[in-house]
Structure 1
Amino acid sequence: MSCRILGAVLPLALLSTTSVLAAESYAGKTDEEIIVTATRTPTPLPQVGSAVSVITPLEIERQKPQFLVDLLPQLPGVTFTQFGPPGTASDIRIRGADAFGTLVLIDGVEVSDPSLIQTSFQFSHLLTGDLERVEVLRGSQSTLYGADAIGGVINITTRAGGGPLRHSARLEGGSFGTVMGSYGLSGGEGPVGYAFQVQGYRSDGFSAADENDGNTEKDGYENLSFTGKLSAAVSDNLLVSANLRYADTRVQFDGGFPLADADNEDDQNQLSARSAAELELMDGRWSNLAAVTYTRTTREGTSAGMPSSDFTGERLKFEYRGAIEVDDDQTLLFGAETENEESKSLEQPGGVEARTSGYYIQYQLGLFDRLYLTAGARIDDHENFGTHDTYRIAASFLLPETDTRFRASYGTGFRAPSLFELFGECCGLPVPLGNQDVEPETSRSFDVGIEQDLLNEALRLELTYFRLETDNKIVFDFSNFGIGPAYVNFPGESVSKGVEVVASWVVGEDLELWGSYTYLDAKDPDGFRLPLRPKNSFTLVADLDVLDDRGHINVNLRRVADVEQFGVPLDNYTLVGAVVSYDLTDEIELYGRVQNLLDKEFQTRPGYGTADLSGFLGLRAKF
């Protein structure tokens, strides 16, 4: 690395899938909440027919996670696995879809790595110091977002500039020789706004191969990250902006078949950038956005001190999006985008690439201040497999007399073959592993839900049924290894179905409770359970203000049960964490955080270890 880092639920009867932790309270959800990801236009929550969860600044502030993956598994429909300690590869799945079936955006940039075997984003390196808001949209969303949105979309926003100059800082240390720190500043002068953040993390870690199996070598991790944002209002109706994100990481890891306590290391650099111009016409009723984004990820691997891998993935994307507010009840959205993905490796130093262009349209209609409809369609043109069309419809119906809302959505999606699945070469084999005849995966997604407010809107219950069908899955055929293309389409339909239940309760001025439960039944075309998809997962969070609101106690519990991989069950586990904080002054906060309070032994992946009881102490300042 260029720098080595900073010197060093309520019972189920109360649980009932749109979960939003509103900024005004920890667990409460307000009808004034604005959702962007579901329609790509700012839309009031009651008009959104999709299932969406939001992580707000207050939740991040109260739980003080080191990484976003510490929070995402608390949401309904979201599951998490990891290959060991912080920094090792991790998977976030939505509603049983593959991890590479989730599209991830950070400040408007699609941040997945085209050089991976399956194009996806590594959440393991995403620290939380600069995060402002996270929207998680569940269900197939290819109509607005193109390929790779079979399971859903995770849209991450970092802090923006504007207003008076503000500083923020955080310093934390604790178990496993962990040291973490960050500093940020933001503000504005006239029409110009700016925000910058630098974060560092270092940990000695623990063995990625489970220590309970006799593995003792520690696998450490280092991360140095930077984000920057600039914006300028050129005129009353023209705004230009630019943002940059960079992460320089080094992680030690174990792997192999069988799993070995090996001396492996991966050095990775993630760079993403975006520049955009937003123009409003027709007295603000026609908004236009033009943007160019670029991502570059490099991964250099070593084994026993010797180079073992070298990958570079790049994506260049141009997009235009327009939205016309026809009247108070109608909005028309339309857009076009084109992107080029490229991957280079030791086996293919000249690189392989593919271009995709997409065109979409969406119509939103409100009727009688009760019924809100959304319909959209899209066509994508991939230079290898040709065109593919998708569509989506959603509806939200309000019954204000009883504080009830019904919602439903149906959409189609697809996952384009990755560059490796199309062209991949490996290990000096005489024939490529990739298959240029492989077809995209396709999906159909349906959900229907009801939300009910009770106790003068202090209690909100939500219940959602969902079903996700995926066809034509791309798999690795070991029988072709070394003699022909190894990636093929697996015939038949994989089905994930289940129920998501959410409850939020503002018990009083000082206490709020939030909980979620997900039942997931995910099976492949032969009727076997898909690996590492828990049938039952449950989260309960309690947030309490004490000492005249200068002290805060946050306790979270997560239960994961009925998980298996290829017919072999994993142990169920219950994790309890707690954060206690106190405002020393109006600007400085002292806090302590405990993870795995019950000191449970568990695995999210067979053979790979997880953290025992661990504690951290920190200071946070805003001035």
Structure 2
Amino acid sequence: MRTKSRLLAAPLALALSTPALAQQVIPETIVTATRIPTDAERVPAAVTVLTRQDIEERGYQTIAEALAMVPGMNTVQTGGFGQQTSVFIRGTASRHVLVLLDGVPVNDPSEPNGAFNFGNELLGDIERIEVVRGPGSALYGSGAIGGVINLVTRRAPAGTPFQLFGDIAGGSQGTARGVLGAAGTTGGFNYLVVGQGLTSQGSDATPRRFTRDTRETEDFRAGAGTARFGWANGTGTMVEGLLRWRENQVELDNVPNDDPNYDGNDRRWFGQVRGETTLLDGAWTTGLRAAVTEDRRRYLNLPDGRSTASTDDLFRGQRQTFDWGNRIRLGDVGPFAAAGLAFGATHERESVDAASGSPSFRTVTDASARSTAVHGGVQGQLFGRLDLSAGLRQDIAEDYDGALSWRAGAVLALPEIASRLRLSSGTAFKAPSLFQRFGRIGTSFRGNPDLDAETSFAWEAGFETDMPVFGRADGATASATYFDTRTKNLINFNRSFSTLENIERATSRGVELGLTVRPARWLDARVGWTVTEARDDVTDAPLARRPRNVVTFGARIAPTDRLVISPELLFTGPSPETATYDNAGRFISGVNYNKSGTVVNLTASYRVTPAITAYAEGRNLTNSRWEPSNGFVTPGRSLLIGSRFTF
């Protein structure tokens, strides 16, 4: 996990990027290949980057595992692999997190609130995960109130005609995992093909405290494939196409009882074609992108001895994205150095065809909507130490009022004391989902086509300081960021539950504290502590699933150049819940609190040869029965042993 590296940072954070288009033209060189190079220290936003090396050394199998250790986040999973998983950033709602794949939004339009399920995605074809906390609508539009998470796929190595890579592992709970891929570059052409799969018998997601727990485990099977083909002339012109498929089959449980025949299938197709070229001797880069995402989810539950209820739910969602993006390197302009400009336009179409629930109380959504946005951003440096940036975006929608979003920030470098000060503020919005506008539940509920977008104003201030200890200038790095987010026009049911209205307001504020120490060449240790206070402004009640305290610890221990040991610890304090159950499985009304919990993981990797690495991954080593969501326990202790290779 890196918060101080050359990165994409400026792209997701503010300004100097082409929102969907300017993503990684050359492998691992997001900044240098697609926009003016920007160091993380110069970006006025809290940014975390998980590289491919981080993913492998820490044993992350899914995006949910990877995000659990990111500052400012709370990951809530209702069981093991494939189960519904929500992410809350800085106390905002889970629907206020925008997820991108190579810069393209992939939140499922058929999800009633437009939220993303983080329990599905495997990481075999992911090169890096980029997380920007804070408002991101000035770049990416709807959904980016809490932050933006960008999944960047792997790419072909430059100058290598053929490379074979893979990963194979097996272990407890009947778990088996495999990744196999081939990639290469020949002349101006490049290609990459990756297949991956994971199967597991899983563990019992129902707490043992429930008297009716049958200790049934939940099976999970997943497969995914990615193919990319491209061409570049070496002078700034390129075209490429990407196709990605992912499908999961998972057993589900109801609360508070195990369910022996409740199954879900979740499938996504993603495809894109894009191209870009340079003008004015490379100073101006312009490009076009077209992308399509199709989601299909089906849930089946037949009557059994424990319940006579049946379920046959089907959700289909599609998003089409068309983007034109530009960035111009202006150089020195008046008092500004390294100035740059970005601008462009994006058009999206979303559609939903969904039906769920019992025949007498059926929830149905059959609708589509279009929106168009124009955006621009500028960035420059004053006096060799003050970086300023700003972005503006206007979204125009056909069936709601649209939104104007902005963000501005500054970073002041203080090399005399090895410190950086950061200040930023901005607005963001979440458009009402198609269900919220046009959904129907039986004859008693109708969506509200007159809903406004949920909107927010946020600001943050922070610093980062390197301390000269342990015989090196950056022997330790301390950081602190204060954040404050105020959200209004939140959508909720009216008093009669007959429709939805913009009737809620919320405030979340807190601080992200971090300390990294490097006492020796072979040891990096990091600790993070996030304190969050999130409340409903109308009732003054704490917001559900936003724990006040989350503490993380991780280290990279490399006693030799072949061995890497990566321990991790995650502590989550008591968390408020509005849906809780006692040990007999009876529902408890009102706001109650889940108990705190601690999860310990350990991964060890040993490089057997330059091309082969053996590893062991241990998850939840203390076999914690902590409930991140009331009625669902964290997956039990597991051990996976495997090997990865590159030839």
What TM-score does the superposition give when structure 2 sets the normalisation length? 0.88
Alignment of 1:145-164 (within 5 A): 145-161=140-156, 162-164=158-160
> 1:615 maps to what in 2?
639
> 2:318 maps to what in 1?
314
> 2:301 maps to what in 1?
303
Q: Residue 433 of structure 1: CA displacement?
A: 3.3
> 1:25 maps to what in 2?
none
Alpha-carbon displacement from aligned partner over 1:299-347 (angstroms, at most 9, x marks no partner): 1111127661111100011111111111142111111111010000237
Partner Cα distance (1:499, 1:618) in 2: 39
> 1:142 maps to what in 2?
137
Alpha-carbon displacement from aligned partner over 1:357-412 (angstroms, at most 9, x marks no partner): 11111111211111111112111111111232111111111111211100111010
Superposition RMSD in Å? 1.9
Q: 2:191–2:227: 8 Å Cα contact kept in structure 1?
A: yes
> 2:588 maps to what in 1?
none
Q: 2:515–2:528: 8 Å Cα contact kept in structure 1?
A: yes
Match of 1:439 among 452, 457, 462: 452
* 1:283 correspondence with 2:286: no
Bigger CA drift: 464-473 or 102-111?
102-111
Match of 2:353 among 344, 350, 356: 344
Q: Secondary structure of 2:64's match?
A: helix
* 1:245 correspondence with 2:262: no
Partner Cα distance (2:445, 2:386) in 1: 53
**Structure 2 vs 1, CA of residues 620 and 316 (structure 1 numbering), >3 Å: closer, same or farther?**
same
Partner Cα distance (1:384, 1:31) in 2: 41
> 1:537 maps to what in 2?
550
* 1:459 correspondence with 2:459: no
Partner Cα distance (1:316, 1:622) in 2: 36
Q: Secondary structure of 1:59's match?
A: helix
Greater RCO between the two (CA within 8 Å, min separation 6)?
Answer: 1
Identical amino acids, percent of aligned pairs: 31
> 2:231 maps to what in 1?
232
Unmatched runs of 5 consecutive residues or more in structure 1: 1-18, 22-28
> 2:485 maps to what in 1?
468
* 1:190 correspondence with 2:202: no
> 1:208 maps to what in 2?
205
Alpha-carbon displacement from aligned partner over 1:452-506 (angstroms, at most 9, x marks no partner): 01120232111100001110111134x434xx32x22224x30110000122222
Q: Residue 40 of structure 1: CA displacement?
A: 5.0
Q: Residue 348 of structure 1: CA displacement?
A: 8.6
Bigger CA drift: 350-359 or 179-188?
350-359
Q: Secondary structure of 2:606's match?
A: strand
Match of 1:495 among 503, 507, 517: 507
* 1:167 correspondence with 2:164: yes
**Structure 2 vs 1, CA of residues 598 and 350 (structure 1 numbering), >3 Å: closer, same or farther?**
closer
Alpha-carbon displacement from aligned partner over 1:272-321 (angstroms, at most 9, x marks no partner): 11111111111111111210111000011111276611111000111111
Partner Cα distance (2:62, 2:206) in 1: 21
> 1:450 maps to what in 2?
463
Q: 1:259–1:607: 8 Å Cα contact kept in structure 2?
A: no
Q: Residue 234 of structure 1: CA displacement?
A: 4.1
Alignment of 1:43-122 (within 5 A): 43-122=38-117
Q: Secondary structure of 1:58's match?
A: helix
Q: Secondary structure of 1:248's match?
A: strand
Q: Secondary structure of 2:645's match?
A: strand
Q: Secondary structure of 2:68's match?
A: helix
Match of 1:359 among 370, 374, 379: 374
* 1:407 correspondence with 2:416: no
Q: 2:365–2:440: 8 Å Cα contact kept in structure 1?
A: no
Bigger CA drift: 227-236 or 351-360?
227-236
Q: Secondary structure of 2:113's match?
A: coil
Q: 2:16–2:327: 8 Å Cα contact kept in structure 1?
A: no
Partner Cα distance (2:260, 2:541) in 1: 32
**Structure 2 vs 1, CA of residues 494 and 147 (structure 1 numbering), >3 Å: closer, same or farther?**
same
Partner Cα distance (1:518, 1:32) in 2: 23
Matched to 2:217, the amino acid is K
> 1:597 maps to what in 2?
621
Partner Cα distance (1:315, 1:30) in 2: 33
Q: Residue 352 of structure 1: CA displacement?
A: 0.6
Matched to 1:480, the amino acid is S
Q: Residue 163 of structure 1: CA displacement?
A: 2.7
Q: Secondary structure of 1:124's match?
A: coil
Bigger CA drift: 190-199 or 297-306?
297-306
Partner Cα distance (1:538, 1:613) in 2: 21
Aligned residues: 589
Match of 2:443 among 404, 419, 430: 430
Q: 2:9–2:43: 8 Å Cα contact kept in structure 1?
A: no
Partner Cα distance (1:609, 1:506) in 2: 35
Matched to 1:55, the amino acid is L
Alpha-carbon displacement from aligned partner over 1:39-58 (angstroms, at most 9, x marks no partner): 35332222211111111122
> 1:394 maps to what in 2?
409
Q: 2:62–2:121: 8 Å Cα contact kept in structure 1?
A: yes
Partner Cα distance (1:190, 1:138) in 2: 39
Q: 2:113–2:435: 8 Å Cα contact kept in structure 1?
A: yes
Matched to 2:218, the amino acid is D
Partner Cα distance (1:40, 1:537) in 2: 32
> 1:26 maps to what in 2?
none
Matched to 1:400, the amino acid is P
Q: Residue 579 of structure 1: CA displacement?
A: 1.0
Partner Cα distance (2:443, 2:566) in 1: 57
Q: Secondary structure of 1:261's match?
A: coil
**Structure 2 vs 1, CA of residues 350 and 474 (structure 1 numbering), >3 Å: closer, same or farther?**
closer
Q: Secondary structure of 1:71's match?
A: helix
Matched to 1:587, the amino acid is A
Q: Secondary structure of 1:69's match?
A: helix
Q: Secondary structure of 2:173's match?
A: helix
Partner Cα distance (1:460, 1:291) in 2: 40
> 2:435 maps to what in 1?
420
Q: 1:207–1:217: 8 Å Cα contact kept in structure 2?
A: yes
Bigger CA drift: 583-592 or 265-274?
583-592
Bigger CA drift: 294-303 or 201-210?
201-210
Matched to 2:113, the amino acid is Q
